[in-house]
Amino acid sequence: MTRHPSLEGLLLSSVLCLGWLPACGSGGGGDRPGGIASREDGWLRGDLHVHTNVQGGFETLASTIDLAEGLAADMFLWMNPAYEGNQLDYLAITDHDSVAALSDPDFVSDQLTLVGGEEWSGDGHAGCWGIHELVVKDPDGDGKSQADVDAALAHAHAQGGLMSINHPMLQSNPFLWDPRGMDGMEVWNSGFGIGDPALTQADIEAWEASHGPANPFVRRAAQLQGGLCSRQNLVLYEALLARGEHVALVGGSDRHAFLLPGFPATYSQAPSADLEGVLAGLRARHSFVSRNPAAAQVLLEVRAGGRTYGLGDEIPVAAAGEELTVVVRVGRAQGGLVRLIAGEAVASDEELATAELGRVALEESVRSDPFTARVTLQARPGTWFYPVVLEPLVAPGLDAAQAAEVRDIARQVAATGAEEFTALGQIMLKYVDTAVLVDSSLCNPRSWSPDRMQCMPQDPDGLATFYLPDFLDRTLNVVLEDGEITDWCMGALGSAALCVAE
């Protein structure tokens, strides 16, 4: 049910939305309340990677669901009106090697479609969604093997579920098994700019010493150095596409503590607003990831053979090749950049090691909201392309001192690991109430300010959970080049379209 703020709430919001003005209501825009990717067109937004205190997280199942629902609470909308109509629609509970949530009486929500899931863990992690039985990581107890990976994928599919590799280039736990046949790949885990270091060839060789050959896609992605594993994830995605592995591009908060679910948010174009619909959208690769539920959106439109194709579709083209006009639609990213990354098929795993992968086929400044860009590609079977939207790192309207502060925070974020909660808290110390940070029972929404992190009252005890105003959320998603921060943060990434023989 859509909530409408009362007159008292509107007055409160008007009084409090001072100072760092872009933090109040930023991330909105578009041609309708839900943006260009609207629920009317089937686009549902959610989080595919969330933990509870059953395995890995800090909060109970009930509190975790309450936190996800909190983006639609009246008081939250008064302070952050950009989220009106932009709340989460679904939430996947993915505790490590556990489906206990499914039998928990608190696994209910009047607001969210809840997705039963599991993070299949151990040596290499994967997200399982839409399952009702545990997918066992090592059935024979002799250590995980490729046979166990293949059996897990088969078991997830037998249940009508999906399986997607998680944080595959994470140095502390990469996914080096052969992922062929998987349904998706998590290219965006937590903040895109959070400083998990790039996986190296030496890391891969150390793993191979006890496990055997790593997959060729990871080896190709690890050639990119001088940045973070998030950028390697995109190279890995491109390597999969080049070998015809057409999987959904997804993201997840990997929420354990401190920050809210839904950052980033994965959109699934669902034929129905229920569990089966969410899964069907992901299975069809009709997906994109956004920095948060109210941030940048991106869609593709391609006309071919009298039909219109979009994100994640397979497009029939003549064997000799033909011209395709690709239309990229962007919302909520004025002042940013839109790119279309394109590439071709690679004939063998061996050739992948030296093959060129993605090239920038289109780059335009986003001059309006919404915005449309077009490019003509010479396509043949095996051609693939996906959209990238970059938003300004510094939110519009900040003065020079505030802009310098944002860049300094971004540099620190890029040197901090995703699960280093204490370090992240210290970076944000100026913007957080430290008493509330360590004792969430002290959270009082009446103390909220648009230029500070806002405690979430749905987190009842222990370490508090906070909403980061937009100007801070951008710092967690800073884009690096050659190890240095740029003027951009990642705004949105869309699943690739793949050309196939007609």
pLDDT digits (tens, 9 = 90+) for 155-170: 999 999 999 999 999 9
pLDDT band with cut points at 50, 70 and 90 for residue 418: low
Tell me what pLDDT residue 80 has.
Answer: 95
- Mean pLDDT calculated for residue range 365-394: 97
Enumerate residues 6+ apart whose C-beta is below 8 A from 498. Answer: 241, 244, 246, 313, 314, 315, 382, 383, 384
pLDDT band with cut points at 50, 70 and 90 for residue 419: low
Answer whether residue 102 shows pLDDT above 60: yes
Answer whether residue 123 shows pLDDT above 60: yes
Answer whether residue 413 shows pLDDT above 60: yes
- Mean pLDDT calculated for residue range 439-455: 94
Instruction: Tell me which of 379 and 30 has the higher pLDDT.
Output: 379
Considering the segment(s) 7-397+474-501 as one domain, its CATH architecture is Alpha-Beta Barrel (3.20)
Tell me what pLDDT residue 10 has.
Answer: 34
pLDDT digits (tens, 9 = 90+) for 251-309: 999 999 999 999 999 999 999 999 999 999 999 999 999 999 999 999 999 999 889 99
Tell me what pLDDT residue 11 has.
Answer: 34
Q: Tell me the domain boundaries of the chain.
A: 7-397+474-501
Instruction: For residue 460, count CB atoms less than 10 angstroms from its CB and return exposed for 0-12, middle for 13-18, buried for 19 or more.
Output: middle
pTM for the whole structure: 0.93
Enter the DSSP assignment of 101.
G
Q: Are 476 and 431 in contact (CB under 8 A)?
A: no
- Mean pLDDT calculated for residue range 105-121: 97
pLDDT digits (tens, 9 = 90+) for 188-201: 999 999 977 899 99
Tell me what pLDDT residue 20 has.
Answer: 44
Enumerate residues 6+ apart whose C-beta is below 8 A from 324. Answer: 302, 303, 304, 315, 317, 376, 377, 379, 499
Tell me what pLDDT residue 175 has.
Answer: 98
Enumerate residues 6+ apart whose C-beta is below 8 A from 440. Answer: 455, 459, 460, 461, 462, 463, 464, 465
